[in-house]
Structure 1
């Protein structure tokens, strides 16, 4: 897997541990000469990840929606820029351009991206998985809810077909190799 999409927070007001874990992942991407495919923002985990990745040799592909450009929120680290008209277009481009998706901690946008990928996989549009990087147990509640969906038969297939979980950088990188 050479092109790795990462969904994550654009917030700067989060705990430092999340920034550190984003930087660690970015360093690994660069050291292993991977492409980072991400939302192209110059804030939050997005910028921390991209800065570390580029400082360590990764190529950076930003998929930038029009609104991000209008608000001056585009990272200056991008090697390749895809312009998207909206968030739906952005998700489709990121999915198309990557081999696998990693979900770092994030908010509503990250959830939207994760569910977009999993829903498309569930009906056969692709076979790509999301890897939840469960930093500090961030995804535990969501993972429990996904399990409940299975237990109550609100999904037709095991959701593990569409995602994996990594609790440490070592677990994550094993899944990405």
Structure 2
């Protein structure tokens, strides 16, 4: 039976202007730490990612950070992490984070967060993995993205099944139960995930 032992979280290296989003990042980190699971993240000590990692560690959780050499200074790599991997580039960072994680959660963030999110969704769409993905829609932050996905489907550029590539969660405390439940529902070697069709990429 597949288990959720590590969770990769994509989120901003900036805090943004809405304190409620920082609170959501800390609440998720606390939930990860209290559950005894490992947080896999981008390795920075600033922005939402820094708040997330600190809350995870304060709650007793393990944290594994992955940061490219060229971002060590810009994202202020957290040298106090018990596990920090400095990798050559962005592509290696995303691959190593993917390999380490059992599931993914997306918090608010900028273009880098969107890049990570769309890549992991595309990999799932193509059947390259079937790891659960959740969008933490704190304060309705991801509503415009959800509307865009609906528009893409309505215009015929993707199948309606692609909505099942991810789950939308509003409460940080519901993220881990939601992802763990999806893992339990999965049957090993059951083939590609719902919505798998390379033609849907457009």
TM-score bracket, shorter-length normalisation: over 0.9
> Are 2:60 and 1:57 equivalent residues in the alignment?
yes
1:134-172 Cα offsets, whole Å, 9 max, x none, are 000000000011111112221146222321100112432
Structure 1 unmatched ranges of 5 or more: none
Of 4, 8, 12 in structure 1, the residue corresponding to residue 11 of structure 2 is 8
Residue 34 of structure 2: aligned partner: 31
TM-score normalised according to structure 2 size: 0.82
- 1:1-177 matched pairs, under 5 angstroms: 1-71=4-74, 73-156=76-159, 158-177=161-180
Q: d(CA) in 2 for partners of 1:78 and 1:63?
A: 11
Kindly state the Cα deviation for residue 85 of structure 1 after the two structures are TM-superposed.
Answer: 1.4
Larger Rg: 2
Kindly state the Cα deviation for residue 119 of structure 1 after the two structures are TM-superposed.
Answer: 0.7
Moved over 4 A (4+): none
TM-score normalised according to structure 1 size: 0.93
Residue 195 of structure 2: aligned partner: none
CA RMSD of aligned residues (A): 1.5
Kindly state the Cα deviation for residue 51 of structure 1 after the two structures are TM-superposed.
Answer: 0.4
Cα distance 1:105–1:92, how it changes in 2: closer, same or farther (>3 A)? same
The answer on whether the counterparts of 1:5 and 1:100 sit within 8 Å (CA) in structure 2 is yes
| SS of corresponding position for 1:158 | helix
Q: d(CA) in 2 for partners of 1:65 and 1:170?
A: 30
* Residue correspondences, number: 177
